[in-house]
Amino acid sequence: MSPQLDVCLVWHFHQPLYIDLATARSVLPWVRLHCARNYAMMVALLEEQPHAHVTINLTPVLAYQIDAYARKECTDDWWQLASTDVSSLSPDQKRDLVKHFFDVNPNRVIEQDELYQNLASRRDEDATTWSDQDLLDLQCLFTRSWTYSEGTGTDTGQAHPAHFSQQDRQALVLAQANQVQGFLPRLGRLARTGQVEVATSPFAHPILPLLIDTDTAAAVQRTPLPHPAFRRPEDSLLQLEMGKTYIEHLLGLPIYGCWPSEGSVSTEALDQITRSGFSWAATDETILLRELHGAPRSTLYKPYVTKTTANSLSMLFRDRGLSDAIGFQYASMREEDSVAQFMEHVRTIRDGLSEPGVLSIIMDGENAWEFYPGGGASFLRLLYNTLVTEPGIRLTTVSEALADVPPLPLPTIRPGSWIDGDFKVWIGDQEDNSSWQYLRTTRDDWEKFTADEQTSSRISLMAAEGSDWNWWYGRDRTSDVAAQFDDLYRRHLINVYTQAGRTVPDLLLRPVAGDSPSSVVLDPIAIMEPPVDGGPVRYLDWASSCKVPAVSGTGAMTFGIAAVSSVHIGCGRTTLYVLLKFHDSVSATEDFRVEIRIQTAARLTHFVIQKHHDQVSAWSEPETSFRWELLDTLQFGLPFAALLATPGEQIELTILVLGGGRLIASIPSRGTLSVLLPGPDYDLRHWEV
């Protein structure tokens, strides 16, 4: 009879910080949607099968956001689109509804539903031509597809009315909200019974070895690295300690296990994990097997232990093949066939043991399921049931396995992650390295803040240290989502300054992503000399100007707040003219600040208008003379001489609007405005017969 094999399923629940901490609003809805469907499904299936013991790695940054939603301290634009009567939606909101509410798996959701298919065939039509019933149906289908239905899997593929009613929409919205609000309490109850062990990660999911020292990557990859290096071991330790403490307080449970973000480890990182109070950690098989030099694969199926400077640390190493089979392969198979294939591999491992062993299956707990029929519920039910009834197999938590199976001494390991054993996803490409320099600049500045300023901006800094942003940089990532994550990364960095009341560096207004548009080129159509009087936009005065979209571009840096309704930029013979018209919500505020930043060949100049209660002041850095007036509009007259600009020069311009300790508008939203100043040949180039 073969020795017992403990099977440890470790489900990793993680999403980056989508909440803009300056506004308490989530830029993207994925925490809410994954929680309502995938995380809710995972806890519901465990409640159905109490003999199935598993480990759930809940990242603190994810739990922080789920808790904010549950307490109704956070929302997002998509939630507003789903929960608002379509008759009350603006034309722009209706367009957003049609743009976003097909963001489901097309094969497993849209193609399984005739009504959804019919609506999808019209998604290129202008949303303002859609009937209220069409929009209502879309609201309901989308909300339904992202909400787990207890006992049956997701609602995908189940019967529904030919058309939905307002009562249906309200019920679906409530059901989704209930799943989000109930998730953390349900997980806590499962953990207190011992059926689930909750592990966690560093607070904002940073790559620990790189946070300690980016030069660490040189040990496992031959790529350029940031210079100077980023070295903040104190931040790595803080991320670990804060993460563990936060989850323990949130759930009221002790936490023993750590999944270091992306399975990233090094000798220094393991030392910090132990110093933070964790007793076990896990990573990928590559990290272990490359050090064993031809040892049999059975050596993977044992726990290991290492001595750090702080204490002993137990280690598990994931079976990559079986983990990836669940994540990427089995969704395309019949669930009976996939579970049978999985069990065949598990039995082979069990039957090859000469002493008790541990098989670690570690993978994301959300992304795979949208590719499975029914959202993966039927597959997981069958998998759990088969594992708990198989002789010689114990489906168990990591701590339960470590208590029963003696460990082997861990050899000295090289740094690496669960992706190819190196860090190339996060460092080494030009964009990745630039991102680290953005972070180093911000971190060095933060070091000089006062204690109160550091406290007010610390979480934004920690969020920017997370791994998720660099996932989307570099040649290995070309998705349209990359620009969105670039914007969100820089928003967290910008918040470090605005939350501390500091000036935002110009560097952070430039996208990291190299293929992003860097400038919007403006060439005013004629010479103009308007009065700088703060009056309304008079056609004859501003007809020759360029009208700039107040929201230029897309992504997270489009702040979702109506701040500026129009921007006009024009040129006289010797003066640059700028006009901003604010929405009423900004004009009525007692405290806001407008900055125009202009880069010429000679220098960078900041022009600032500050309104504080009834007092308005203006200045420039460096000091120079300019005209301005704030009444119905804010108008500037900026002499070329004040910019140290020459006629015919092309200058770069950015406009920022700040209020309430946050950046509320950046024009353009990505890059800069490029303005060609009139030169000696201006009249000739613009001559019209």
Q: Any idea what the CATH number is for the domain that residue 669 is in?
A: 2.60.40.10
Q: How far is CA 468 from CA 208, 371, 472, 569, in A?
A: 13, 22, 7, 37
Give the pLDDT score at 680: 79
Give the pLDDT score at 475: 66
Q: Are residues 512 and 537 in the same domain?
A: no
Asked whether residue 595 is assigned to any structural domain, the reply reads yes
Q: How far is CA 377 from CA 68, 190, 326, 620, 624, in A?
A: 27, 18, 13, 61, 67
Residue with tokens 């620009």: 483
403 token code pair:
């208590």
Residues 533, 632: Cα–Cα separation, whole Å = 9
Q: Are residues 621 and 483 in the same domain?
A: no
Asked whether residue 640 is assigned to any structural domain, the reply reads yes
Query: Which element (helix H / strand E) includes 493?
Result: helix 481-498
Residues 646, 679: Cα–Cα separation, whole Å = 8
Residues 643, 616: Cα–Cα separation, whole Å = 23
Average pLDDT along the chain, 689 residues, taken 10 residues at a time: 92 97 93 98 97 98 98 96 96 95 96 96 94 98 95 56 95 98 98 98 98 98 97 98 98 98 98 98 97 91 94 97 97 97 98 96 95 96 98 98 96 96 96 97 98 97 97 73 90 96 92 69 85 91 85 43 82 94 74 92 94 89 95 94 92 89 83 87 56
Q: Are residues 603 and 682 in the same domain?
A: yes
Asked whether residue 672 is assigned to any structural domain, the reply reads yes
**Longest distance between any two alpha carbons in the chain, whole Å:** 98
Q: Are residues 477 and 527 in the same domain?
A: no
Residue with tokens 């000295």: 412
Asked whether residue 122 is assigned to any structural domain, the reply reads no
Asked whether residue 19 is assigned to any structural domain, the reply reads no
Give the pLDDT score at 668: 86
Find, among 60, 395, 63, the residue nearest to 259 by Cα.
Answer: 60
Q: Are residues 461 and 535 in the same domain?
A: no
Give the pLDDT score at 552: 38
Residues 633, 566: Cα–Cα separation, whole Å = 10
Give the pLDDT score at 650: 92
Q: Are residues 550 and 662 in the same domain?
A: yes
Using a 10 angstrom Cβ sphere, with 0-12 exposed, 13-18 middle and 19 or more buried, the burial of residue 599 is middle
Give the pLDDT score at 151: 56
Q: CB atoms < 10 A from the CB of 647, how many?
A: 14
Give the pLDDT score at 553: 38
The amino acid at residue 272 is Q
Question: Which of 516, 542, 573 finishes a domain?
Answer: 516
The CA-to-CA distance between both ends of the chain, in Å, stands at 98
Q: Are residues 482 and 570 in the same domain?
A: no
Q: Are residues 522 and 480 in the same domain?
A: no
Using a 10 angstrom Cβ sphere, with 0-12 exposed, 13-18 middle and 19 or more buried, the burial of residue 409 is exposed
Question: Which of 516, 539, 573 finishes a domain?
Answer: 516
Question: Which of 482, 516, 550 finishes a domain?
Answer: 516
Q: Are residues 535 and 682 in the same domain?
A: yes
Query: Which element (helix H / strand E) includes 359?
Result: strand 357-364
Query: Which element (helix H / strand E) includes 76?
Result: strand 75-76
Asked whether residue 687 is assigned to any structural domain, the reply reads yes
Q: Are residues 471 and 532 in the same domain?
A: no
Asked whether residue 315 is assigned to any structural domain, the reply reads no
SS3 content of the chain, % helix, strand, coil (to 5): 45, 20, 35
Preceding omega of 233 cis (within 30 degrees of 0): no
Q: Which domain holds residue 587?
A: 518-689
Give the pLDDT score at 684: 55
Asked whether residue 534 is assigned to any structural domain, the reply reads yes
Q: Backbone phi, then psi, for 505, in 5-degree steps?
A: -65, 145
Q: Are residues 499 and 538 in the same domain?
A: no
Q: Are residues 542 and 661 in the same domain?
A: yes
The tally of domains found in the chain comes to 2
The amino acid at residue 257 is G
